[in-house]
Amino acid sequence: MKKTALITGATSGIGEACARKFAAGGYDLILTGRNSRRLAALKTELEHGGTEVVGLCFDVRDAKAAQEAIATLTGRWATPDVLINNAGLALGLEKEYEGSMDDWNTMIDTNIKGLLTMTRLVVPGMVERGAGHVINIGSVAGDAAYAGGNVYCATKAAVKTITDGLRIDVAETPIRVTNVKPGLVETNFSRVRFHGDNERADKVYQGIQPLSGDDIADVAFYAASAPPHVQIAEVLVLATHQASGSVVYRSQH
C-alpha cells in the first residue's frame, strides 16, 4: 500500500513543491490550503500523474474547521504516514514598537497555533499505529532575530522548541520528528510579507541566487526517506552566499 503524506499550505511555495516531490516519490497525498481554486487545480494535475489526492480547503488558524476537515478522513487516509506542517507566513518588517497587531496575530495564529492544531489532530493516530513522521518547516529566522523580524522570528523560534518538545514526547515510539529551517527561498513569501508590494519583494532576492521551493522539498523528502532508525532531527538550509538570517553577500553585477 502506498504511503500517504498530509501537507498544509500546499497551494504555493514550499508546500506545493513538497506536494510534487512526494507525489513523484510514490506517495498519495492529503493537501490542505485556503485557496479552493488552486487546491482543486493541483489535485487534478497530480491525479493525472497517478497520485491519489484528497483536498481539504480550510485555514489552519481555524481549529474547528481543521478538526472537521481531518474528521472526514477515513480508512488509510485517517492517519497519514507523514505530516508536513508547512503553512506559515511573515507579515511586515517594521520595528517591534511600530508593528501591526493584526499582522502579529495572523503570524502567531498560523505559524504557531496552526502547527499545534494539526499536530494535535494527526499525531495521536501515529502514536496509536506506532509509525509516522512529522516534518515542520521552520526557518533560519528561528535561530536569531534580525532587524524588523521580531515577531516572525519569535514564531519560528517557537517552531523549533515545539518540534524539539514533540521529539522528546515521542522518543519512546518509532515516530520521527524533523525541523527543516530554510534561509532565503524565492516563493510568494516576500510578496505576502510586504502585502503585495512586488517591487519591494523582488529586492529581497537581488544579487543572490536564492533557494527554491524544490530545494526545500528535496530535503523534506530525504528526511522522510531515511532508514527507520535514522531521524533527521534538524536541517538548516541556506543559499550559498547566505551565512545567517542577517548576513547575505549580494553581487553588484
With beta carbons less than 8 A apart as the criterion, state whether 12 and 38 touch.
yes
SS3 of residue 178 by DSSP: strand
Active site residues: 152
Do the bridges between strand 4-7 and strand 133-137 make them parallel or antiparallel, or are there none, so unpaired? unpaired
Q: Angle at the Cα of 213 (from 22 to 197), degrees rounded to 5?
A: 140
Angle between helices 115-129 and 63-71 (to 10 degrees): 30
Kindly list the distances between the CA atom of residue 95 and the CA atoms of 23, 100, 127, in Å, as whole numbers in the listed order: 41, 10, 42
Which of 250, 138, 154 lies closest to 202 in space, CA to CA?
250
Q: Angle at the Cα of 47 (from 42 to 52), degrees rounded to 5?
A: 110
